[in-house]
Amino acid sequence: MSARELQPFSQRTLLALIAAGALGFVVMAYLMIAGEDTRGWQASATTTSRSAVGYRAFTELLRRFDIDPVAPSENRLVRESLRIVLAPQTPQEVREILQATQRPVLIVLPKWRTRAPPLSDRVADAQLRNVEGVQALARAIADDAVIVRPDAVGAWRTEGVQGTPQLARPQLVRSAKLCPVVSSAEGMLIARLCARPQVAVLADPDLLANYGLWRGDNAVLAMSLVARLRSGDGPVVALEAARDRPSHDIWQLAISPPFALVTFSAVVAIGIALWAAATRFGPPADEPLPPPAGVFALIDVAARLLRDRSDGGRLLKRYADLAVLDLGRRLKAPAPLQGPAEIGRWLGDLPPAEGGPTYQELVRAIDTIAPGDRAATVAAAARLHRWREDLLNGR
């Protein structure tokens, strides 16, 4: 059998497996290198997030005051008393929300761009958003809005709400089309659209965020603002922007980078295992050939006869059977003949070599060997071998 036939895979299959492994390695290397810049997800600024920029504390505070905050999907039959839009992503999103409802709306502008470790809600890094991006969102409410971030803020003035805000790095808005609710000489923290008083804007989300709600009178001001904006006793609906954050669904994680590489490797491994179980690799194995009845078999039989101290007649008869079967194959014995006995009788009818014994004489000689007579047994094996060679050479 050639070396190519002994290969477990065909050349095409082997190349395909090598290509799949190389592709997986390249993807893994890319994710490891690119992960230095793209590590982690944006921290969740949602009503259920416990991160510094989340609003879990504000949600729990509303429940303590018997104000039921719900998600939009839960508000199909009940009309909300206030809709809070948390950190919208695009100006188009803000305009669509303002056009979709005439109910009171509080739009909370974004401020931070944060990163969290994978599968975690903890803020690992926070950077201020670009002022132009936040300003574009504010101008979807008032087209002359300007976002400012002063280093210091003077005295706060309030209109119809209670509490004084305490903010480390305030983000304020200026606009002639916004009426102040909480403001200072540097700008407005909370304002209402003068043409639509039911639309309010919170310029700095730190007032409601988990890490800022507990500072000073921020919680008092937040609840006072909600109480002023609400219309009726309906629930407060919080609209959360879609975030690029990790999912806790195992099936979604399985097809999301970098876990998709592990899933791909597992699928390939399972496929190869099923392939190996369904059909054996490589060409069919040839059946082992019977040992030849020639000189090498004679040497082996003689050695075993000399080594074996018990009766060697059984081994000698086995050697005689192999020699007869081999002769029958070589001399083209008739197909109906099966087994050493029938082929031996057919060989006995053939003319023996000059001066040589017949098959029947050899068999009778084997039967007359005394048990334990190893010399006679080896001599009988040698005569059987010479008879076989003479018969072949004579034919």
Q: Structure tokens of 354?
A: 């000059």
Phi-psi region of 148 (alpha: psi -120 to 50; beta: other; left: phi over 0): beta
% pLDDT > 90, the chain: 25
The tens digit of pLDDT for each residue in 259-278 reads: 777 788 778 878 777 776 66
Q: CATH for 56-245, among 3.40.50, 1.10.3470, 2.30.30, 3.30.310?
A: 3.40.50
As given in the structure block, the two tokens for residue 90 are: 């695009």
Q: 217 and 186 in contact (C-beta within 8 Å)?
A: no
Report residue 359 as tokens.
């098959």
CB 204 within 8 A of CB 170: yes
Mapped onto helix, strand or coil, the DSSP state of residue 162 is coil
Burial of 158-177, coded b for 16+ CB within 10 Å and e otherwise, reads: beebebebbbeebbbbbbee
Smallest CA-to-CA distance from 168 within 130, 135, 206 is with 206
pLDDT given at position 287: 61
**Phi/psi-derived region of residue 232, left when phi > 0, alpha when psi is between -120 and 50, beta in every other case:** left
Query: In angstroms, how far is CA 19 from the centroid of its own chain?
Result: 19
pLDDT in tens, 67-109: 766 655 544 445 778 888 888 888 998 998 888 888 899 999 9
User: Token pair 């007032």 is at which residue?
Assistant: 207
Domain definitions of the chain by residue range: 56-245, 295-394
Q: Which residues make Cβ contacts (< 8 Å) with residue 37, sequence separation at least 6?
A: none
Contact 112, 128 (CB under 8 A): yes
> What are residue 112's DSSP bridge partners?
128
The two structure tokens encoding residue 282: 């490589």
- Hey, what are 383's tokens? 């005569």
Q: Where are the alpha helices (DSSP H) in the chain?
A: 11-38, 56-64, 91-100, 131-139, 210-213, 218-229, 250-254, 259-278, 295-307, 313-330, 339-348, 359-367, 374-394
Report pLDDT for 19: 81
Taking alpha carbons only, the member of 175, 213, 205 closest to residue 192 is 175
Rounded CA gap, 240 and 56, in Å?
Answer: 13
48, pLDDT greater than 50: yes
pTM above 0.75, yes or no: no
Q: Annotate 341-357 with DSSP letters as a single string.
A: HHHHHHHHTSPPPTTPP
Question: Residue 15 carries which side chain, given as an amino acid letter?
Answer: L
What pLDDT does residue 264 have? 80
Question: Tell me: the pLDDT tens digits for 154-210?
Answer: 899 999 899 999 998 899 999 999 999 999 999 999 999 999 999 999 999 999 999
What is the number of alpha carbons within 13 Å of residue 266 lying toward its C-beta? Answer: 7
Q: What are phi and psi of 147, to 5 degrees?
A: -95, 130
Question: Pick from 133, 128, 145: which is nearest to 199 by CA?
Answer: 145
Amino acid at 73: S
- Location of structure tokens 């019977």: 290
Q: What is the pLDDT of residue 150?
A: 93
Q: Phi, psi at residue 269, to the nearest 5°? A: -65, -45
Alpha helices in 39-130 (DSSP H): 56-64, 91-100
Average pLDDT over residues 199-224: 92
Q: Three-state DSSP class for 249?
A: coil
Residue 252, classed as helix, strand or coil, is helix
Tokens at 26, concatenated: 């390249």
- The residues facing 82 across adjacent strands are 236
Which of 392 and 138 is assigned the larger pLDDT? 138
- Is the separation of the CB atoms in 239 and 86 below 8 Å? yes
CB 273 within 8 A of CB 299: no
